[in-house]
Chain A
Amino acid sequence: MYQFKRLAASAAIGLWATTALAQDSITVAIQLEPPNLDPTGGAAQAIDSVLYANVFEGLTRFDADGAIIRGLAQSWDISADGTVYTFNLAAGVTFHDGTTMDAEDVKFSLDRARAEDSTNAQKGLFAGITDVTVLEPLVVQVTLDQPNGNFLFNMAWGDAVIVAPESIADIASNPIGTGPFTFTDWVQGDRLELTRNADYWGDAPALESATFRFISDPTAAFAAVMAEDVDAFIGFPAPENLPQFEADPRFQVLVGNTEGETILSTNNKMPPFDNVLVRQAVAHAIDRQAIIDGAMFGLGTPIGTHFAPHNPAYVDLLANSPHDPDRARELLAEAGFADGFTTTLKLPPPSYARRGGEIIAAQLRDVGIETEITNLEWAQWIEEVFKNKDFGLSIVSHTEPMDIGIYANPDYYFQYDNPDFQALMEELNATTDPAGRNDLLAKAQTIISEDYVNGYLFELAVATVAKVGVQGLWVNQPTAAVDLTGVSWAE
């Protein structure tokens, strides 16, 4: 009996010890599993979610609020004409395989991304680069063909991280970067493990190790959090379940903003949407609050233009398109569609689109516009809607930060062609003083809002459910990232 008691006691101590140990490791769940681990070779956001800032670093980076801060480049000089950037790299940086990170690696990474046979999904970020020269082991000079106010912002993207030439062959399965965590293991279909990089050049992270789990099914996600199988779920997939977590003292729910403007994309070249009156009628037919309540269970901020509401340059233009079905019917009659018309509504897989689509279809039917709903997979959506522009309406969230420039491209899938707007964007690119830029951005937002280019619905929100005690997680999602550098457990 005595022995048994001792055994029990030591078991208890063992148990206590593991709980104490668990405090410097974390299990975070995200919805999507990365298809491979090469952030420079694919568009899948899940790759960045796992690796950005944790395993890979770029010259610059986004901080938790979306500001551009120093990364591997500790300082930089910009030539007077704005076309030559000279970056001074951090000293003593090594890749996880032990090799030194220097200017040659930067040159290699940038040249690889912009090369003829590059498969970088965001090759456009590097389009203006004409030359990359190594000046000194830790000094690299990048020359652009013209001034680009966004260049430092571009270099912060996950697609612009610095990689080592030796690791490229296996990068998709064995990523080697310079970040605070090293990649340890990936059980495909289930989880991926990271361990603290003992030789990290910057401040050491608080966590010893981290496990990412991939749970895309909302029911499984709910059960995994409830059962405390995971410590945090970033981007919880079912907003309808959030009130249950909020009511539970074990959990904290963080709701943050993203860069995702969710819009009713409208094919501006396809009749009758080439008529601004019809687009305006659509805008008045939409009840944003019903969509946010019905599709997102209240999560999301209404927008009146294609711009993130948390951005200082945002202009509230909701007054241009209040929900007013009578006005919508009048406008349709004025445009010659008193009896309404029929169009297509092609929806990609996310639930904001599928659920939102059903609601919008009902709202449009109310003013006389019939829609044929087609649910598409992403691959089909890219081909049919994005590439072939074979659609009347679609719903999609544009998650790239600061992407109002897409309205200046007449070939972009919603085919908005307005020379005034295009001129405005050129002026914006050449403008560097912040006040002037904000003025131009406000003008741009107003133009597209008053032209009713697309139906502006809401800014996508991101919900994080975490155990009480987890601190330092990003609340907002300025870019797809789960940065664990500052994450720790409360005492």
Chain B
Amino acid sequence: MIRYALGRLTSLIISLLVASLVIFAVIEVIPGDPAAFMLGVNARPDTIAALRAEMGLDQSIITRYFDWVTGLLQGDFGQSWTYKTPVAELISDRIWVSLPLAIYALILSALIAFPAGIFAASRRGGPGDITIMGATQLGVAIPNFWFAMILVLIFAINLRWFSAGGFPGWGDPLQALKALTLPAIALALPQAAILARVMRSSLLDMLGEDFIRTARAKGLTRRQALWRHAVRNALIPVLTIIGLQFSFLLAGGIIIEQVFFLPGLGRLIFQSISARDLIVVESVVMLLVFTVIVVNFTVDLAYAAVDPRLRAKA
């Protein structure tokens, strides 16, 4: 196990190193001089040069890469060029929108998907199953940003139940949750559809397993067997999908954040790219990649701890 973990750790470090190189290189070649952008069209060349020096852009690529990476290793994300505040501060502000939004959406999607998936599995082939499966097909196919526009049209502009966008901050938690509700629904629906399908099919697989047959042989009805044994065991693949969805929701809310005008991580990246605040872009992207890689690493280790066969296989 320790050898396996060490091997995985090495590949984790190499992955992070490669990722940092790729991110830095891509951002390095983005056209558009950040200093020229910040100073606008009337700026004089000597002013731009002065600002470039202030931002450290006059140093060599290699120096800047090492400065960036050593900063990251010490937990220093650098200083935003446009906002003139530490990037870490920006991230910690924005993450209080993106993280609650992702969790909210995940809870909503589980609340819809679990009952729907269980119901469909217990009525396999029946009209309820067919209706739910049809609805999930629609849910998977709907573009979430379009769904968001429709939600805004109905609930914000026509009914005026919710505000169409913006985020009032957590000063008043109820208002904050209200502002996140429409975006969370828009994010949750397609995820719920996928989750319900996974729930249903893994339940149906379970129903074919030996221990369920044993349980039924002991006199449990099909539905009792489903509830007492299958649901619990079917949760393993479902939780795996939820884990995947979570990292998707954290970074993938970018378009929804755009539609609802939420000051989250996704929009921070988007704004920083167009403002050429490259130090923010590279640090935030690196942070997201780091999160996914570390989560994968932990999941791999957890699986290996549970199932010794995996260690030999990989």
Contact between chain A and chain B defined by CB under 8 Å: yes
A binding-site residues for B, Cβ under 8 Å: 35-36, 38, 42-44, 116-124, 172-173, 187-190, 213, 215-217, 219-220, 222-224, 226-227, 229, 349, 377-380, 382-384, 386-387, 400
**Chain A nearest CB, measured from B32 CB (Å):** 3
A119 touches B261 (CB 8 A): no
B275 touches A119 (CB 8 A): no
Most chain B CB atoms below 10 A, which of A35, A120, A189: A189
**Bound complex: CA of A123 vs CA of B93, how far in Å?**
34
- Knowing A188-B93, A382-B36, A383-B33 are in contact, say whether A121-B42 is a contact too (CB < 8 A): yes
Known contacts A123-B43, A189-B93; can you find 10 more A-B pairs with CB under 8 A? A35-B275, A44-B38, A116-B46, A122-B43, A190-B169, A217-B259, A223-B163, A224-B165, A226-B157, A380-B32
Contact B165 A383 (CB under 8 A): no
The reply on B197 being an interface residue by CB < 8 A is no
With A116-B46, A384-B31, A387-B36: A220-B165 Cβ-Cβ less than 8 Å: yes
Say whether B156 contacts A223, CB under 8 Å. yes
Query: Counting CB contacts under 8 A, is B224 at the interface?
Result: no
Quick check: is B67 within 8 A (CB to CB) of the other chain? no
Residues on B close to A: CB < 8 A? Answer: 31-34, 36-44, 46-47, 50-51, 53-54, 82-85, 90, 93-94, 149, 152, 156-157, 160, 163-169, 258-261, 263, 267, 273-276
**Is A189's CB under 8 angstroms from B84's CB?**
no
Chain B residues with CB under 8 A of A42: 38-40, 82
In the complex the two chains form, what is the Cα distance from A44 to B260 in whole Å?
Answer: 24
Select B50's contact among A117, A173, A229, beta carbons within 8 Å.
Answer: A117
Listed A/B pairs (30) with beta-carbon separation below 8 Å: A36-B83, A38-B84, A42-B39, A42-B82, A43-B40, A43-B41, A43-B42, A44-B38, A44-B40, A117-B54, A121-B40, A124-B44, A188-B90, A189-B93, A190-B166, A215-B261, A217-B165, A217-B258, A219-B149, A223-B165, A224-B165, A227-B163, A227-B164, A349-B274, A378-B37, A379-B36, A382-B32, A382-B33, A383-B33, A386-B41
Among B36, B38, B51, B263: residue with most chain A CB under 10 A: B38
Can you list the 5 inter-chain pairs with the closest CB atoms, starting with the nearest? A43-B40, A189-B263, A223-B164, A379-B32, A220-B165
Q: Contact between A229 and B163 (Cβ–Cβ < 8 Å)?
A: yes
- Please tell me if the beta carbons of A383 and B32 are within 8 angstroms of each other in the complex: yes
Q: What's the nearest-Cβ distance from chain A to residue B95, in Å?
A: 12
**B34 contact set on A, CB distance < 8 A:** 379
Contact partners of A377 in chain B: CB under 8 A: 32, 273-274
Tell whether, in the assembled complex, residue A380 and residue B166 are in contact, meaning their CB atoms are under 8 Å apart: no
Known: A118-B47, A226-B157. A382 touches B37 (CB 8 A): yes
- CB neighbours of B50 from chain A (8 A): 116-119
Inter-chain contacts of A227 with B (CB < 8 A)? 156, 160, 163-164
Contact present for A190 and B39 (CB under 8 Å): no
In the docked arrangement, what's the CA distance between A198 and B152, Å? 42
User: Within the complex, which residue of A38, A118, A224 is in contact with B166, where a contact is CB–CB below 8 Å?
Assistant: A224
Of chain B, the residue at the smallest CB distance from A223 is B164
Contact B157 A222 (CB under 8 A): yes
Least CB distance from B135 to A in Å reads: 27
B163 and A121 contact, CB distance less than 8 A = no
Partner of A190, one of B54, B263, B275: B263
Output the least CB separation between A410 and chain B (Å).
Answer: 16
Q: How many angstroms between the C-alpha atoms of A301 and B261 in the bound complex?
A: 31
CA distance A42 to B83 in the complex (A): 11
Question: B163: which A residues are within 8 A, CB to CB?
Answer: 220, 223-224, 227, 229
- Which A residues lie within 8 Å of B258 (CB)? 217
Does the CB pair B152–A219 fall under 8 Å? yes
What residues of chain A lie closer than 8 Å to B82, measured between beta carbons? 35-36, 42
B79 to chain A, nearest CB (A): 11
Task: State the CA gap A387–B93 with chains docked (Å).
Answer: 35
The complex places the Cα of A119 from the Cα of B43 at a distance, in Å, of: 9
Q: Given A36-B83, A188-B90, A229-B163: A382 and B47 within 8 A (CB)?
A: no
| Cα A69 to Cα B166 with chains together (Å) | 38
A213 pairs with B166, CB closer than 8 A: yes
Q: What CA separation (Å) do A226 and B156 show in the bound complex?
A: 10
Closest residue of A by beta carbon distance from B149: A219
Closest to B260 in A: A220
**How far does the alpha carbon of A215 sit from the alpha carbon of B276 in the complex, in Å?**
21
Closest to A36 in B: B84
Q: How far is the CB of B47 from chain A (nearest CB, A)?
A: 5
Report whether B39 and A121 are in contact in the complex, using a CB–CB cutoff of 8 Å.
yes
* B53 CB contacts on chain A under 8 angstroms: 117
CA distance A414 to B275 in the complex (A): 24
Partner of B152, one of A223, A229, A383: A223
Given contacts A190-B166, A220-B164, contact A379 B42 (CB under 8 A): no
Residues of B near A379 (CB, < 8 A) are 31-34, 36-37, 274-276
